Structure 1
Amino acid sequence: MLLWLITAVNILWSTAECREPVLHRVGGGKYTWAPNMNLTAWAMHEKFYVGDWLYFGFDKTRYNVLEVSKMNYNNCDDKNFITNITRGGRDVFNLTEARPYYFLSGLGYCFEGMKVAVYAQYAPPDPDPAPLVVRNGCPSQSAGYGIIIMVLALLASSAVMG
């Protein structure tokens, strides 16, 4: 029974898709959301995963950040946007689903390059199925199975005794 529990936990944790979220500074640099930047090239060199954050740094008196549909993105149409994420010029957006996201700045700035599309995907499973322990709710590869084995032993003994 104990061996079965250890094997089951190891399989579940070794296939877990868990990683620390990343904050992507859209476009790089201090002011990340500005005209005449090649945000498409920037996005092509980044990997976006569910749970990551996008940071938009910009002059809020001139620009905004709107999440839009693919059609609106392609046409630089700021009408009927999905979400206006503009708050204070240092705004973040959480990628909560595995799907494409489309952003643009309205008031004609989209035509000056202020638009970006990113595709958030699920994080790949960890290729190294080394011993795992849980930290902050996320499997981490460090100390061995000590704690896991103790917990599983307690569970197995309670199952046998119960």
Structure 2
Amino acid sequence: MEVFNMKNMLLLLITVVNILWSTAECREPVLHRVGGGKYTWAPNMNFTAWAMHEEFYVEDWLYFGFDKTRYSVLEVNRIDYNNCNDKNCIANITRGGRDVFNLTEARPYYFLSGRGYCFKGMKVAVQAQYPPPDPAPLAVTNASPSKSASHGLTVLFALLTSYAMLYLSS
């Protein structure tokens, strides 16, 4: 029986690092314009329909464009969202009327506008989830520049690993 020596340990380490490197996530965060358009946060819009056609992932951003003198953006819990209650908000993200919010966890998020505008439809719920794994590195087609660069690094690392394995096996 062969003794597990330093050479075999290095080969195992290189293999594990190569597998982890080639399966790493490469998805860039997306900026979602809540409701679509320039001024996205306004009364009498169907934000539920808009959210149903979007996919929200952890690290994505929500953009709210609105008149800050009239409207607000408040993060609330589900019960307050359902009741249009703006009194116990989790966070007031209203700043300048062109505000962004980072989806940092895989969970549902609930937003509404205060001052009674929630009752005019100014509320939205989104479900952030973890991004799906990228396809296998050699199956990437029509990739964005950042994904292409990542793919190139993966191929380069695989080649270097192969050379190292050949060297160590001799």
Q: What RMSD over aligned residues (CA atoms) do the two structures have, in Å?
A: 3.0
Deviation at 1:12, TM superposition (A): 1.5
Matching residue of 1:76: 84
Matching residue of 2:152: 142
Deviation at 1:70, TM superposition (A): 0.3
Counterparts of 1:153 and 1:80 in 2: how far apart (Å)?
A: 61
Identify the match of residue 49 of structure 1 among 57, 63, 83.
57
Counterparts of 1:7 and 1:123 in 2: how far apart (Å)?
A: 25
Choose between structure 1 and 2: higher helix proportion.
2
Q: TM-score, normalised by structure 1?
A: 0.82
Q: 1:59 to 1:130 in 2, by over 3 A?
A: same
Deviation at 1:99, TM superposition (A): 0.4
Matching residue of 1:160: none
Identify the match of residue 115 of structure 2 among 107, 119, 122.
107
Choose between structure 1 and 2: higher strand proportion.
1
8 Å CA contact 2:35, 2:50 repeated in 1: yes
Pairs aligned (count) = 155
For residues 9-55 of structure 1, give each alpha carbon's deviation from its aligned partner in whole angstroms, at most 9, with x where no partner exists.
23213433341000000000010000000000000000000000000
Counterparts of 1:117 and 1:10 in 2: how far apart (Å)?
A: 39
Larger radius of gyration: 2
Q: 1:20 to 1:12 in 2, by over 3 A?
A: same
Q: TM-score, normalised by structure 2?
A: 0.79
Identify the match of residue 118 of structure 1 among 117, 126, 141.
126
